[in-house]
Amino acid sequence: MSFNSEKAVVRSYQAAFDNGEASDVKGVVKSYVDENAKIYACYPFDKCSTPAELVQELWEPLKQSFTRMKRREDVFMAGNNSAGEGKWVMSMGHFAGLFDKPFLGIRNTGKLAFLRYAEFFEVRENKIVSHAVFFDLIALMQQVGLNPLPVETGHTFVYPGPCDHNGLLFEEQDPKESKKTIELVEEMVRDLDSLNKSGNDNCPPELLAKCWSEDMVWYGPAGIGATFTIERYQQQHQFPFRKGLKDKVFNGHVARFGEGSFACFFGWPNLSNTAGGGLFGMPASGIRADMRVVDVYYRKGDKLLENWVLMDVPYWLKQQGLDILSRTTTYS
């Protein structure tokens, strides 16, 4: 099935958005995004329920803060939503610009900064009817010398795109390859969901090796960081994550799809859990909280090789009683 028309809408929107000034964004969004579009935006923009509110609260301030902001896109893909309905397009990469004015209370540097992003677009009849926006705000904080969390088990840096530089799927892909990728991702999701239900937090490496390459790279959100190889992934993320969270429940996804050798999903929320202590260096709280997560995958051969993860960490922390954005505004 072709997704050329959906991709064309999103690429036209991106071009108009990227080339416009802050004062142009309202008109761009009005031209491409249905006024009643469903909005999924990471904290603190999650109160925005309309595209117009998102323009006012997010896009105009962002454009005003980052001079000559450019989109450095690493993955662009589309597909049929296997978690629901519709044709969706996903874009992932960084917004890069001169950080000239404070953003969300994060102090400006006047220097080049990278804001990691992932956007999902549901397109119907040449209009964007759903729009999800995720940022890695903690990674931006780290670039200006702010470290809001005491422990990071992996390592955060400005993450690269796919190792084979093949993530921009502007042309049609082989449906057989697309099917192979999404089926592999769904097998992995089922395995982890079964592990959650079992209550076993000591995942054997053999379970991961069913779907993952031994040379897997996991590009996690700032506060957790990136890891390399199954062994180090388990040491530096999976075990701290699984043992630091109790009563984990998978809630499903809003959108999940694959194209070619790539696949992606996001949930609202994906997971619910209770902080048992240790994750992000936070103590046990006993507070039930939700996690909103984006995953983007690259399959090479029969295994998943790379995984980029954006997690709405500030939202999860706020549910635990820690508003890192409010604290940043006060002390930055």
pLDDT digits (tens, 9 = 90+) for 34-82: 999 999 999 999 999 999 999 999 999 999 999 999 999 999 999 999 9
CA 184 to CA 213: how far, in whole Å? 12
Dihedral over alpha carbons 193, 197, 200, 205 (to 10 degrees): -20
pLDDT for 263 beyond 60: yes
- pLDDT confidence of residue 331: 56
pLDDT-above-70 percentage for the chain: 99
> What architecture is domain 175-331?
Roll (3.10)
**Region 132-136: what's the mean pLDDT?**
98
CA 295 to CA 118: how far, in whole Å? 9
pLDDT for 281 beyond 70: yes
Strand partners, 249: 272
- pLDDT confidence of residue 196: 80
Fold assignment, 4-143: Nuclear Transport Factor 2; Chain: A, (3.10.450)
Main-chain phi, psi angles of 17, to 5 degrees: -65, -50
Classify each residue of 260-296 as buried b or exposed e, where b means 16 or more C-beta atoms within 10 Å of its C-beta.
bbbbbbbbbbbbebebbebbbebeeeeeebbbbbbbb
**Region 193-209: what's the mean pLDDT?**
88
Specify the DSSP element, H or E, that contains 278: none
Give Cα separations from 252 to 151, 190, 196 (angstroms). 29, 11, 13
Specify the DSSP element, H or E, that contains 255: strand 255-259
Which residues fall within 8 angstroms of residue 250, CB to CB, at 6 or more apart? Answer: 189, 192, 193, 196, 270, 271
DSSP class of residue 234 equals I
pTM metric for this prediction: 0.97
Average pLDDT over the chain reads 95
pLDDT digits (tens, 9 = 90+) for 98-116: 999 999 999 999 999 999 9
- pLDDT confidence of residue 330: 55
Rg of the Cα atoms in the chain: 19
CA 144 to CA 149: how far, in whole Å? 14
**Region 263-292: what's the mean pLDDT?**
94
For the chain, the first-to-last Cα distance in angstroms comes to: 50
pLDDT-above-90 percentage for the chain: 91
Per-residue pLDDT band for 178 (boundaries 50, 70, 90) equals: very high
CA 222 to CA 159: how far, in whole Å? 11
**Strand pairing of 262-266 and 226-228?**
unpaired
Residues of the chain with CATH 3.10.450.50: 4-143, 175-331
Main-chain phi, psi angles of 292, to 5 degrees: -105, 125
pLDDT digits (tens, 9 = 90+) for 245-257: 999 999 999 999 9
